[in-house]
Structure 1
Amino acid sequence: MRPIAGVTETYTVIIRFDTTDHLKSWMASSERARLISKVEPLFAGTDDFYISSGLDFWFTPAGAKAKIPKRWKQYLITWSAIYPLALGVPYFVTPVLRLFGVSESLLLTTLAVTAVIVFLMVYVVMPRYTRLMQRWLFN
């Protein structure tokens, strides 16, 4: 990902692996070392990397050097964000579905409600909420 003008000068590359063992194997491979040494003259700093799994990305502030809050804090923050959404979103989504003629299907309603909740969590709630709770999360 290219840097965001005026915010960061860091390029980010996201690589996903199917297992932790495959990740470790790649990180220790001679092929990776060869590729890194080939582009190293282009680096402003060092080959800095961060390994994340699960929902850790919600809890890592920009520029952090792999500082992740305790799991129980991640749990409480995530739960406290999802709970009000799980209560409130159905009251808004269900009438909209009926307005558009979607039948009263538990499957379709749940699909739409969870899609809205996840969207709100990823794009609206968690970025702001983790910033607001940052001091507590990282102490």
Structure 2
Amino acid sequence: MEQDDQIITVVISQVVKPGCEAAYEAWLKDITTVARTYVGHLGTNIIRPQAGVRPEYVIIFRFDGYENLKTWMTSRDREYWLTQSATLIESDPQVQHINGLEAWFSLPGQPLKTPPRYKTALLTWVSVYVLINVLNTFITPLLRGLPPFIISLIITITMVLLLTYVVMPRVSRLLSFWLYPKSRKV
């Protein structure tokens, strides 16, 4: 890890055996409840399978730093719950650790992978540049009369929400050919 104090996300994907979905859902509830008790746990998201789009469950754990994540990932609690799920899943889960802005560059329905950092940085810079200019042009005039720090607060909150939920997912899909080029077979 480059920075120990950086939020880190673990993305786990696994395919559940047909007919085991209800038991797996109960297992998910139990393991996420236990994960919440660990220091540094920031939340868990579950993306359920969608017919014709993605056959696997995706579990996303977020922790406030590598050491707290490591404590969870190497815990006896987690080991116990993983053994409980062994009969419910088709194969070993795929586990990927991501941190920082890398989470913005994932494509729905595909295994999580991140592009090279220079592409991540360039695309993030371009998106922030365009969005900050749009927000300053259209939102800042509506906020005249407010203290500058309140204007900055509103603009930055709006920008982060738009980047996370609107801009980056669409830009990542639009430029997926550049971010994730197909490897050439020789």
- TM-score, normalising length from structure 1? 0.82
- Check 1:88–1:66 CA distance in 2 against 1; reply closer, same or farther (3 A cut): closer
Q: Which residue of 2 aligns with 1:106?
A: 148
CA distance in 2, matches of 1:90, 1:115: 13
Amino acid corresponding to residue 31 of structure 1 in structure 2: D
2:57 aligned counterpart, secondary structure: coil
1:15 aligned counterpart, secondary structure: strand
* Structure with the higher strand share, 1 or 2: 2
Q: Which residue of 1 aligns with 2:77?
A: 31
Whether 1:14 aligns to 2:60 is yes
Gaps of 5+ in 2: 1-45, 182-186
Gaps of 5+ in 1: none
Whether 1:50 aligns to 2:90 is no
Instruction: Name the Cα RMSD after superposition.
Output: 2.1
Q: Which residue of 1 aligns with 2:48?
A: 3
Q: Does the 8 Å contact 1:93/1:112 carry over to 2?
A: no
Render the CA deviation track for 1:76-96: whole Å, top value 9, x for unaligned.
000011101111212211233
1:14 aligned counterpart, secondary structure: strand
1:55 aligned counterpart, secondary structure: helix
- TM-score, normalising length from structure 2? 0.63
Q: What is the number of residues matched between the two proteins?
A: 135
- Check 1:129–1:14 CA distance in 2 against 1; reply closer, same or farther (3 A cut): same
